[in-house]
Chains A and B, each alone.
Chain A
Amino acid sequence: MALAVSVGLILVFDLRLLRLAFAAEPVSRIMEQFVPLSLPGFAAMFITGLLLFISQAEKVYQNTFFRFKLALLVLAGLNALLYQLKFYPKMAEWDKSGVVPWGARVSGALSLIIWACIIALGRTMAYEL
């Protein structure tokens, strides 16, 4: 259920980067209003995920879908980190012009795709346990 409060909120921000939602609001405002709310959601996801993992660690670790899911989680983290390092520092500038740099748009699109795949892999791995 924490899925909704983590991924559900991040995708609002991703959609803004792609101008598919809140196009009239500055990106910085959407980020400041939505992204902090997702952090407790992500914390809950990691804690409950860890608990599920340790309950049958050996079996889960062997699962190919689980391994791909972990890899994609790392990728989602790297994608967010890249945004923070490359596009966040100059956000005030490009936000004023109203044009989201193409790299930031790619980052938003990647985030949407990666999280959708993480959901799919998480669901599918249960069928292989």
Chain B
Amino acid sequence: MSLQQIWEWSYSSKTVDVLRNAKYAIPVIQSFHLFGLTLVLGTTVVFNLRLLGLGVRKISMPALTNQLWRLAVGGLLLSAATGILVFIPDPARYAANTAFKTKLVILVMAILFHFTVFRKVVRAKVPPRPRRAALIAAASLTLWFCVGWAGRAIAFLG
């Protein structure tokens, strides 16, 4: 089954039809999507402020990672799941949307970065050198905030 066929099949299914036509289904799902985003972006900001030495300095990086990493992962899973639910009732519209396509590309980059370079640095026993910390924080914040902005732009750009 190709991806195209999967979308066509789900598009015509009864369950998805309910989602599409229930008046408040999409905004309610999007609310959970935003709550997930709050967790991902919120924890990312905290990690980066700590990395840069600009905030939460009295809490050690291992303590932060130990307590907040699962919130980030939980938030990401929630946002991904709800994002798919918003996508499937109207796949053609999203597939044609430039902001959506841009968002997906940046999202893949952000996830790859987060679970490789970023994960390593927040779990390292020795803090990175200031220059490296600044570069990593700049990359992490730019990627995640661009995911958010591109997501918001979907509703406004064709």
B-contacting residues of A (Cβ < 8 Å)?
1, 3-5, 7-9, 11-12, 21-22, 24-25, 29-30, 32-34, 37, 116, 119-120, 123-124, 126-127
Contact = CB atoms under 8 A, between A and B. Distances in A.
B8 to A, nearest CB: 26
Given A24-B63, A37-B49, A119-B31, A8 B55 contact: no
B88 interface: no
B28 interface: yes
A7 B41 CA distance: 10
20 contacts: A1-B41, A1-B148, A3-B41, A7-B42, A8-B38, A8-B42, A8-B45, A9-B42, A12-B42, A24-B63, A30-B59, A34-B56, A119-B34, A119-B35, A120-B27, A120-B31, A123-B30, A123-B31, A123-B34, A127-B26
A12 B69 CA distance: 12
Contacts of A32: 58
Q: Is the interface of A mostly helix, strand, loop or mixed?
A: helix
Contacts of A116: 31, 35
A55 B49 CA distance: 33
B6 to A, nearest CB: 27
Interface of B: 23-24, 26-28, 30-31, 34-35, 37-46, 49, 55-59, 63, 67-68, 71, 145, 148-149
Contact of B59 (A5, A7, A29, A120): A29
Contacts of A11: 38-39, 42
A22 B27 contact: no
A120 B28 contact: yes
Contact of B68 (A4, A12, A120, A123): A12
B58 A33 contact: yes
B43 A8 contact: yes
Given A1-B145, A5-B41, A9-B45, 5 more contacts: A1-B148, A5-B42, A5-B45, A8-B45, A11-B38
Contact of B38 (A7, A24, A29, A30): A7
A12 B71 CA distance: 10
A19 B38 CA distance: 20
B35 A4 contact: no
A4 B63 contact: no
Contacts of A34: 46, 56
